[in-house]
Amino acid sequence: MAFSLPVGPQHPIHPEATLIKIEVEGEQVIDADIDVSYVHRGIEKAFEYKTYAQGLYLAERICGICNVAHTTCYAINIEELAGIEAPTRAQYLRLIVEELARIHSHLLWLGLLAHLIGFESLFMLIFRDRELVMDLIEAIGGNRVVPAYNVIGGVRRDIDNALAHKIREALGSLKERVKRYRRVATEDPTIRARTVGVGHLSPSEARDLLAVGPVARASSIKYDVRADDPYIAHAEVPFNIVVYDTCDTWGRMMVRIDEVLESIDMVLYALDHLPSGDFRVKVPPIFKLPPGENVARVEAPRGELLHYVVSDGSEKPYRYKVRTPTLANLMAVREMLRSRGGKAVYVADVPVVFGSIDPCICCTARVLIVDERGQARETTIDELARMRW
């Protein structure tokens, strides 16, 4: 006797309005379907009415948590098309803020996962430690969540020695705390009971369903845009790609915790090797771009983020497309939510599995083509480019 249980659009597990319709038999989930159309804000349309410099601030507000990734991607996208070269000091500074944003996003996710499995104390404590990073971002950029640090042509402000010292101190104590959380995540029996074996995604499935980011890296797929297609200063700042082969939520949790530790090391390395020079190239506030198109990819905290711009020679873009990593992970999470093979998924696992991809639905609600017959299909980049959608 199966009935369908709508998890959403209003539900405590959803930071944004999403509908996960699950077919439930007793406590076991048999089927799942996801609807992300509730938060569509018309951002891609809004891009067409903003100049390139204004579009930067629109890109920043696509997502509250991964806003640095969006501005970085946008900035390098427009810079590549315009032929502007940001100075190396700016690239390093961009890397510092991008990695700090990754740290704060992963810590937020970790706290959220603790909340989803009912571990309120861990949630509160992690958020307290996340404040260290928020204070740093505020000191660097001017705002805790949306530092508005990247501009076309470089970064807005410099990091002087006093600020660098503050960053080193804060990151030093944060590293100890994160190591402690790593131990908790590895050893605590209730956390392990809720995350080990939950949300299974085999490597072949991950590859077929186009999972990106920590979801893919927890299924043994070694794919990180920072290493495969380096941007800003990632070619010069060394780091390890964190890969786990457990293919479950625990693996994704450990991937993100280890990525936080890697990011802390990257920021400290970048601070030590900061090249001197300018941090910004003067760019007129309103400028025209030559006609053409460009694609830029960055490694957002959630995975591979893609921006695509088509310019027709005016000061506003003709078309701007944003493909966020959560969109790529949605098909994967849908498979994960179904009880298949020998692995049963329980109602209690639904928030854990859905949360394990780090869903950022407000980023995601862009364009999904739904056939009139009710089937949704994903489009490829080439198809998008051909159709100019």
Partner 1 sequence: MYPEERRETPQGFRGRLSFDRNKCTGCRLCWRVCPASAIEMIKDEKGFRPVFHIYRCIYCYFCVEVCPTKAIRPTDAYENTVFRKEDLTLR
Partner 2 sequence: MWWSEILEPLVYPGVLYVTFLALLFEWIDRKLVARLQNRVGPYYAGPHGLLQPLADFLKLISKEDIVPLKADRLLFTLCPILALVIMFTASAFLPMVAPYGLASFNGDLVVAIALLTIYALIIYASGIAPPSRYSLLGAERVVLMLIGFEVPLTLSCLSVAIACGSLRISDIVLHQADRYHVLGLCAPAFALFLVASQAELERVPFDIPEAETEVVAGWQVEYASWRLALFRLSRDVEMLFLSGLGAALFLGGPLGPTSSRFSWLLPPIYFLAKSILVLVVLSILRASFARIRIDQFVSFCWRTLIPVSLAYLLAVLWVV
Residues that bind partner 1 (CB under 8 A): 50-51, 53-58, 60-61, 135, 138-139, 141-143, 148, 156-157, 285-286
Distance CA(44)–CA(211), nearest Å, equals: 23
Partner from partner 2, partner 1, none contacting 115, C-beta within 5 to 8 A by type = partner 2
CB atoms < 10 A from the CB of 117, how many? Answer: 22
Partner from partner 1, partner 2, none contacting 232, C-beta within 5 to 8 A by type = none
Partner from partner 1, partner 2, none contacting 241, C-beta within 5 to 8 A by type = none
Q: According to CB under 8 A, which one of 43, 191, 255, 330 is a site residue for partner 2?
A: 191
Q: Does 116 bind partner 2 (CB under 8 A)?
A: yes
DSSP letters, 185-231, are HHH-HHHHHHHTTSS---HHHHHHTT--HHHHHTTT----HHHHS--
Q: Does 27 bind partner 2 (CB under 8 A)?
A: yes
Helix (H/G/I), strand (E/B), else coil: 294: strand
How distant is the alpha carbon of residue 305 from its chain centre?
Answer: 7
Q: How far is the CB of 167 from partner 2 (least distance, A)?
A: 23
Residue 365 parent element (H or E): none
Classify residue 357 as exposed, middle or buried by CB count within 10 Å of its CB (0-12, 13-18, 19+). buried
Q: According to CB under 8 A, which one of 16, 37, 346, 385 is a site residue for partner 2?
A: 346
Q: Does 194 bind partner 2 (CB under 8 A)?
A: yes
List the beta bridge partners of residue 7: 20
Smaller CB separation from partner 2, 114 or 296: 114
Q: According to CB under 8 A, which one of 92, 109, 119, 250 is a site residue for partner 2?
A: 119
Helix (H/G/I), strand (E/B), else coil: 1: coil
C-alpha distances in Å from residue 266, one per residue of 201, 223, 263 = 29, 18, 5
Q: How far is the CB of 331 from partner 2 (least distance, A)?
A: 23
Answer whether 157's CB lies under 8 Å from 89's CB: no
Where in 243-302 is the site for partner 2 (CB under 8 A)?
Answer: none
Q: Which stretch binds partner 2 (CB under 8 A): 44-52, 139-147, 311-319, 348-356?
A: 348-356
DSSP letters, 87-150, are -HHHHHHHHHHHHHHHHHHHHHHHHHHHHHTT-HHHHHHHHHHHHHHHHHHHHHHSSSS----E
Partner from partner 1, partner 2, none contacting 142, C-beta within 5 to 8 A by type = partner 1
Q: How far is the CB of 282 from partner 1 (least distance, A)?
A: 11
Q: Does 135 bind partner 2 (CB under 8 A)?
A: no
Please give the residue ranges that form the binding site for partner 2 (CB under 8 A): 3, 5, 11-13, 24, 26-27, 114-125, 128, 188, 190-191, 193-194, 346-351
